[in-house]
Amino acid sequence: MNRPPSASAVPGKVRIIGGRWRGTRLEVPPAPGLRPTSDRVRETLFNWLQAAVPGARVLDLFAGSGALGLEALSRGAASAVLVERDAKLAAALRSTAARLQGGEAAHVVQADAMAWLHGQAHGSFDIAFVDPPFDANFWGAILPALTPKLSAEGWLYVEAPPTADAAPPQEWSLHREGRTREVHYALYRRRPEATATLADSPAGPAATSPI
C-alpha cells in the first residue's frame, strides 16, 4: 500500500452501506497493509452484482475489515466465508458477526488464504472477492487456485494496484471495471464455454460444505 486510505475507509470508520445492516459501523483494528474498499467503490460493485447477490454463497478471501463479505450478507447473500490471517482482525470480524441479527451466516476463518483455499471443494462458492494487501504479490498463484472453487456461473471481483497484472485465467471474461488513483477494480464472469469444463471435472461441483 503506497497511499493512505481515504477518510471513508480508515480503520474504525468502515460502515455497511446497503441492505438490512445499512449504516452499521464495523470494528476494524489497525493492521499493516489494511486498506478497506471505499464506500464509493463498494456501492459501484454491488450495483453491478445486484441480481447475483441474493441467495449467493460468498467468499471474502482476504477479508480484512469484512466490508465486502458483510455487505454481501446485508444485501441478501445466503452465506459468507471471511478468511483473514491476522488474529486481531479475525477476532474483530467474529465480534461484529456476533452482534448482527442474522450474523451467523458469516463464518470467519483465521488462516493463510492460499493454504486454506487448497483445502476447499470445487464449486463451493458463487461470488468471490479478492482484495489482498497490495504489497503482496499473490496474483500469479491465487487466481488460478481460486477459479475451480467457484460455481459454473460464478462471479469474481478483483481489487489491485493500477499497475498490477491481476487478470484471472482465460475462463473469465471482464464484466465491468473501474479505477481510482489508488486501485483498479474489476468484476469478472465465468465464460460460458468454461461451464462444460467445470461440469466434466473429476472433482465436480461439491456437495460438501466449504467451511
The span from the CA of 54 to the CA of 72, in Å, is 8
Parallel, antiparallel or unpaired: strands 125-130 and 106-110: unpaired
Using the structure block, give the residue that is written with the C-alpha cell 481460486.
146
Spatial CA neighbour of 111 closest among 56, 60, 154: 60
β-bridge mates for residue 160, sequence order: 184
pTM of the predicted structure, to 2 decimals: 0.85
pLDDT more than 90, % of the chain: 65
- Options 3.30.2320.80, 3.40.50.300, 3.30.70.20, 3.40.50.150; CATH for 7-199 is 3.40.50.150
Show Cβ contacts of residue 145 under 8 Å, excluding neighbours closer than 6 positions. Answer: 114, 117, 118
Whether 52 and 126 have beta carbons less than 8 Å apart is answered as yes
> What tens digit of pLDDT does each residue of 28-66 get?
877 766 778 889 999 999 999 999 999 999 999 999 999
> What tens digit of pLDDT does each residue of 173-194 get?
999 999 988 899 999 999 876 5
Residue 5 has pLDDT above 60, yes or no: no
Whether 66 and 86 have beta carbons less than 8 Å apart is answered as no
Q: Please report which residue ranges of 100-191 form alpha helices under DSSP H.
A: 113-118, 139-146
